[in-house]
Amino acid sequence: MTTARAAATLLVKELRLEFRTRELLNTTIVFALVVVVLFSFAFDPTAVESRRYGPGLLWIAFLFAGSLMLHPSFAREQSNQTLDALRMAPMSPFSILLGKMLANLIFLSLSELILVPVFAVLYNVSLAGVVGRLALVLVLGTTGIVIAGTVFSAIASHARMRELLLPLLLLPILAPLLIAAVEATASLFAEQPGLDSTWLAFLAGFDIVFLTASWLLSDFLLEE
Partner 1 sequence: MKTRIPITVLIAALMFFAGYAALFIAPDESTMHQIQRVFYFHLSSWMAMFSALSLAFLANVAWLVTRNPKWDWLGVASVEVGVVSCTAGLITGVLWGRPAWGIWWTWDARLTTAFILWLLYISYLLLRGLIEEPQRRASLSAVFGIFAFLDAPLVYFSNRLWRTQHPSPVILGGQNSGLDPTMGKVLLVCMVAVMGVMILVLIDRYRLERLRHELDELRLAADARAANPNSAVTKGAL
Query: For binding to partner 1 (CB under 8 A), which residues are involved?
Result: 148, 151-152, 155-156, 158-162, 165, 168-169, 172-173, 175-176, 179-180, 183, 198-199, 202, 205-206, 209-210, 213, 217, 220-221, 223
Distances (CA, A) of 167 to 23, 66, 71, 172: 20, 9, 9, 8
User: Minimum distance between the CB of residue 70 and partner 1, rounded to whole angstroms?
Assistant: 15
Which of 51, 29, 67, 46 is CA-nearest to residue 145? 67
User: Minimum distance between the CB of residue 99 and partner 1, rounded to whole angstroms?
Assistant: 19
What DSSP line would sit under 105-139, residue for residue? HHHHHHHHHHHHHHHHHHTT---TTTHHHHHHHHH
Amino acid at 89: A
User: Minimum distance between the CB of residue 117 and partner 1, rounded to whole angstroms?
Assistant: 28
Query: CA-CA distance, 128 to 105, in Å (whole number)?
Result: 25
Q: What is the DSSP letter of 43?
A: S
Do you know the residue count of the chain?
224
Query: CA-CA distance, 88 to 219, in Å (whole number)?
Result: 13
- Would you tell me how many other CB atoms lie within 10 Å of the CB of residue 135? 14
Which of 39, 17, 36 is CA-nearest to residue 28? 36
- Would you tell me how many other CB atoms lie within 10 Å of the CB of residue 116? 18
